[in-house]
Amino acid sequence: MRFTRVGARAVAVATAAVVATALSAAPAAAHSKKPLGTKSLAAVLTADKSGFDHNGHDYDILTAAVKAVLKAKPSSAVKVLADGKTPLTAFLPNDRAFQLLVKDITRSKKLPGEKKAFTAVAGLGIDTVESVLLYHVVPGARINGRTALKSDNAKLKTAAGSPIKVNVYGHGRKISIIDLDFSDRNARVVRIDINKNNRQIAHGVDRVLRPINLP
């Protein structure tokens, strides 16, 4: 994934904070007539009781990862996903995204099943899983799909501290997210406005965002 580093980290973080604040203001104003709900993203994820299956487009592995982190570290910052009163935007990797990640890490020729993929992800260690999850969360900013499409090149500070960047392409109709891995394809947004009309909103992506440049 190509990510151009511009200036010092302090500048990137400051810029991200300003952009996040600006982005969050627009959708809030758009919904001023009807207060936003407080349904959390954790509630959305755990509502699916199917567990590991053969559907690569849902979020079983992500849900299991969130549960694993909160079980091991109840005070983890990941718990913000369960606090529907706290506005945020999350980019949710679907099951296929995690399967592709494990395939890359293990250099396997085949995609693992969902249960095997989760076992491999958990095997990276709870702290690593926690950091990766937080890299998908932009706290304090509620960014819906319409706003994101108008935010090409916006840099967003994640809950992990490292930035991600919005890339709008396809004549302004598609979105990808640029992370800190320069060698892999950017994550594409494949589903928008999950949990819309609530303070916490999410967009599904087809790759796991990587906070480091993997070999």
pLDDT attached to residue 215: 64
The answer to whether 18 touches 135, Cβ cutoff 8 Å, is: no
Decide which of 52 and 19 is more confident: 52
- Bridge partners of residue 194, in order along the sequence: 202
Mean pLDDT, the chain, whole residue set: 89
Q: Which domain holds residue 169?
A: 9-205
DSSP output for 74-87: TTSGGGGGG-TTS-
Decide which of 148 and 12 is more confident: 148
Instruction: List, in sequence order, the alpha helices (H) in the chain.
Output: 9-30, 41-46, 60-72, 95-106, 114-122, 126-134, 145-149
DSSP output for 194-211: ETTTBSEEEEEESS---S
Query: Domain containing 117 — which CATH number?
Result: 2.30.180.10
Give the pLDDT band (50/70/90) at residue 181.
very high
Query: pLDDT tens for residues 36-85?
Result: 999 999 999 999 999 999 999 999 999 999 999 999 999 999 999 999 99
Residue 44, burial from CB neighbour count under 10 angstroms (0-12, 13-18, 19+): buried
Query: pLDDT tens for residues 98-145?
Result: 999 999 999 999 999 999 999 999 999 999 999 999 999 999 999 999
Q: Measured between alpha carbons, how far is 198 from 63 in angstroms, rounded to an integer?
A: 19
The answer to whether 85 touches 199, Cβ cutoff 8 Å, is: yes
126 falls within a domain: yes
Q: Measured between alpha carbons, how far is 178 from 35 in angstroms, rounded to an integer?
A: 32
212 falls within a domain: no
62 falls within a domain: yes
Q: Is the pLDDT of residue 27 over 90?
A: no
Q: How many domains does the chain have?
A: 1
20 falls within a domain: yes
2 falls within a domain: no
Give the pLDDT band (50/70/90) at residue 23.
very low
Q: Measured between alpha carbons, how far is 146 from 84 in angstroms, rounded to an integer?
A: 21
214 falls within a domain: no
> What is this structure's pTM?
0.84
211 falls within a domain: no
69 falls within a domain: yes
Decide which of 9 and 129 is more confident: 129
